[in-house]
Chain A
Amino acid sequence: MMEKMQFKLFGLMLFALLFAIQADAQNMQKGKKIYEARCLACHQADGGGVPNMNAPLDAASNVVGNDIARLVRIIRNGYNERIALDGFYYSNAMTANPDLKDNELADLLTYIRNSWSNKASAVTVAQVQSAKKKK
């Protein structure tokens, strides 16, 4: 009896895990599409950016960091200042993306934070919504 319960529980957990992985894969795929359409031209296919001009996203401390609100703000509003990142400066103006929906922002950030050498937590729609409230 006990064994059977454990087995059921294990099955349920496995199912949940599989579902989560699948959801992640879907989010990553959606995020990738947005990245290719809006970000790749400047930040490049390898996420490496362009020295002195366009900041790298791969192995960038603030991209894999915890300040989701700042990332959401930069993607939505663009960026028009010289930015210091991990000891280097980047000067190009970044285009604003005010039309991206909350789920799109979440997918895009999930993709960027988990591509190339990046391994950081996925970003949820709830996190994007609370980030937008912070301003």
Chain B
Amino acid sequence: MHKLSYFFTACVLALSVSAQDNAGLKLPAGFSATLFADQIGTARHIAITNKGVLFAKLNSPNKAGQTIVRMEDTNGDGIAEKLSGWGKYGGTGIYVKGNQLYASSDDAVYLYQLDANEEVTNPTSPKTIIQDLHSRRQHASKSITLDPQGNIYVNIGAYSNACQEKDRSVGSKGMMPCPILDSAGGIWKFDGLKENQSYAQGKRYATGLRNVIGLDWNNKTNSLFVTQHGRDQLNTFYPTMYTDAQNADLPAETMYEIKEGDDCGWPYVYYDPFQKKKMLSPEYGGDGKLEGGKNALDPLVAFPAHMAPMALLFYKGNQFPVKYKEGAFIAFHGSWNRAPLPQEGYFVAFVPFKNGKPAGEWEIFANGFAGPDNNKSPRGAKARPCGLAEGPDGSLYVSDDSKGAIFKISFKK
């Protein structure tokens, strides 16, 4: 009996401690966080229904053999107690539109139906909306978002670092023109409901994007916004032009507003956030000083190099203070290619927006994902932010694809 009461006291203490310490996150004043779920698997992107049921797409099957996890907080304590799942294919993209749930593998997009309880009705027989997209190891994940008309936008990442004749090899030239761009290295647009579409039925919506993992439709501007992962290893392949320290800071990770037909310049240029210029890539004759990409889009926001923006979300709710309204949250996975310099990222950033345009510098919103000892190595970090979703009450959810945590961040006046 005594043992039992000690156990309960310990539980209550543990709970209150975790509530007080915001699940280990550092947040602006007035915000708090709970560990909504933990160890659910490699949780990539997340999506939420009107009633607050959260779905996560896993990169690989979890211990229960699921690749899509459904999470429901039935008593409103900020922790999901009802968990279930299904699916056999790994992937990244997930999106909820009404009672329809989209999920992507690395080469296809599937559509599931949700019932009145927001349970999936056809876990083993989804409709195949898009299929046979290139999945060639590098940048193979397919992120998805929809516009209000029901068109679906899919990132098809370039299966290359800088379109060299021999990928990631010292001295190998860039191919001219880059042959990858006809079927990858951009955003493709498809009908959100037609079945069995592939390249022939889709349209290349934007090109020159090495790898976009974060993308979101902005209702204010009625346009697509994306965050690109910039190229790697300038110092490794061009040690006479770039020092380790320069590589750690180059190129910027970038955010673009995309209109149909836009070209963001990869692989011919990269963005230097210090010179504030598009620089000709060394694979194409650049030297760190020559500019290029006259017709390529300029980024709207430039973030520090290699931090890996995994998710982009425009905040629509009213729970957070007015500063956050219509602004952009970006989940940064955390870098690896800053080595031997210290790694960076492993946080959620915020960019204020006004009238659909950035209205101030980016800032760190939620930090501490790397853990109490702040181990910012890709393997050692406690959590790596990967997905974002906004709940019907305006809370922000963040997924972690290393240990499988889901954080729920709320604001209390």
Contacts and interface: CB of A to CB of B under 8 A. Distances in A.
Contacts of A96: 169
A94 interface: yes
Given A52-B59, A95-B236, A82 B169 contact: no
Contacts of B167: 80, 93
Given A91-B140, A92-B138, A50 B169 contact: no
Interface string B49-61: 0000000000110
Interface in B243-282: none
Given A42-B336, A51-B402, A95 B377 contact: no
Interface string A33-53: 000100011101110111111
A20 B236 CA distance: 34
B379 A48 contact: yes
Contacts of B380: 46, 48
B168 A82 contact: no
Contacts of A49: 378-379
Given A49-B379, A50-B379, A91 B339 contact: no
B177 interface: no
Interface in A23-78: 36, 40-42, 44-46, 48-54, 56, 78
B378 A48 contact: yes
A93 B138 contact: yes
Interface in B335-360: 336-337, 339-340
B339 A56 contact: no
- Which of B236, B339, B402 gathers most chain A CB within 10 Å? B339
B340 A53 contact: no
A51 B236 contact: no
Contacts of A50: 336, 378-379
Main secondary structure of the interface of A (DSSP, over half): loop
Interface residues of A, number: 27
B168 A36 contact: no
A51 B233 CA distance: 18
Interface string B217-239: 00000000000000001011000
- Which of A49, A50, A82 gathers most chain B CB within 10 Å? A50
Interface residues of B, number: 24
Interface in A79-135: 80-82, 88-89, 91-96
B88 interface: no
Nearest to B233: A41
Interface in B348-387: 377-380, 384
A77 B377 CA distance: 27
Contact of B339 (A45, A52, A81, A95): A45
Nearest to B401: A51
B170 interface: yes
Contacts of A93: 137-138, 161, 167-168
Contact of A95 (B170, B337, B384): B170
A45 B337 CA distance: 11
Given A41-B340, A51-B384, 14 more contacts: A41-B236, A41-B339, A45-B339, A46-B377, A46-B380, A48-B379, A51-B378, A51-B379, A53-B336, A54-B336, A56-B379, A80-B167, A92-B137, A93-B161
A88 B170 CA distance: 28
A40 B168 contact: no
A129 B296 CA distance: 50
Nearest to B161: A93
In the complex, the 5 A-B pairs of residues with the closest C-beta atoms, listed nearest first: A48-B379, A91-B137, A50-B378, A50-B336, A93-B168
Interface in B168-184: 168-170
Nearest to A82: B137
A77 B215 CA distance: 37
A128 B235 CA distance: 29
Contact of A45 (B59, B236, B377): B377
Contacts of A53: 336
